Structure 1
């Protein structure tokens, strides 16, 4: 499939399949394990960015319920509309993750689960560098990335009739990109999904 604007494919795909995606993935127990570990690492009433927040479930809702101040960003207008309904105690912004602006040292943590892999490869290292600047010293990035390199589409994603697009490098490349961004990689694990999976990284701003 020839993709003129992959970000538009991603936006339209999530606009169309917001509820379908939530029903497919929101109950994944791995999210709660990861978020539980994050809550142990950040201060009370921490300021957290959920980058690629989707409908706000489960990440923004879990963290906001725990008393953290959450800002969610997503490219999909439908996802943001639903997030504002589902998690009214958080703040949400429709924006391209590679274009959104925040002051330096704004967040105690940035969470980006299954979002970086929807961004063109050339734009991912600069985004990681910007994320590093948004973190306060000692702040955490919790992110899923590709485990093996792949770029491609699914024309009937999740059986919902919409097209979705992904592009990601392999885990070793992401490890290098995180280090080059000025972050210290503190943990890495494989997060299985179906016949494959992703890499989960814990990285910290020194």
Structure 2
């Protein structure tokens, strides 16, 4: 594990309760861009599920949902906050699932913490575990940026982010076999503004 990823994991472990308090109970409207394209009881992966609110609990009410995170503290909260979902501690660069396991994947504010040189590896893992014609909805970066905040959310905890430009992300998605079918900008309640992309996997 890289130093950056260890910092992110340890950061979310340390501020699990504070982050939970800052999150809104209402899922971002953009989630419907994925869920409207799925059938009831389809299997969905929430990659970087955190404490399970507001995204995974929404998914679990309608779909066969699996939440994955590498922060043990975040998953501990998720077990309390979400009923009906399977929770797995793991790494997005090496997903602990077999090929074609899911019909949809969402990655809200998680891919943007992965070092840039590992983004394509993560996208390839998403493709591996998605069924053909499955959908990915992910938060990405607009302009390329890497940086950290030593006092994120005024907690004294360091957090780091890393992402290429959205054009580079599109190129990665295309190389792996995804077709982008939508792009949306979301104002997060924590004070950030990030683009989301919706992409469909077509291995043919």
TM-score by length of 1: 0.91
Separation in 2, partners of 1:62, 1:187: 21
CA distance in 1, matches of 2:191, 2:72: 31
Query: What is the RMSD of the two structures over their aligned residues, measured on CA atoms?
Result: 1.6
Which residue is equivalent to 1:24?
Answer: 22
> How big is the shift at 1:120?
1.0
In 1, Cα distance between equivalents of 2:66 and 2:51? 12
Equivalent position to 1:60, from 56, 60, 78: 56
Q: Give runs of ≥4 in structure 1 deviating > 6 Å.
A: none
What whole-Å deviation, never above 9, does each CA across 1:17-57 have from its counterpart, x for those lacking one?
A: 11221222334x5x341222322110110100000000011
- TM-score for both structures, normalised by structure 2: 0.92
Change (3 A) 1:26 1:135: same
Are 2:130 and 1:135 aligned?
yes
In structure 2, C-alpha distance between the alignment counterparts of 1:77 and 1:196, rounded to whole Å: 25
Equivalent in the alignment of 2:74: 79
* Cα 1:153/1:72, change in 2 over 3 Å: same
Runs (5+) with no aligned partner, structure 2: none
Q: Where in structure 2 are the equivalents of 1:70-109 lying within 5 Å? A: 70-109=65-104
- Alpha-carbon shift at residue 196 of structure 1 (Å): 5.9
Bigger helix fraction: 1
Structure 2 counterpart of 1:151: 146
Q: Which stretch shifts more, 115-124 or 88-97? A: 88-97
User: The residue matched to 1:99 in structure 2 has which SS?
Assistant: coil
Alpha-carbon offset, residue 205 of structure 1: 1.2
**CA pair 165-32 structure 1, distance change in 2 beyond 3 A:** closer
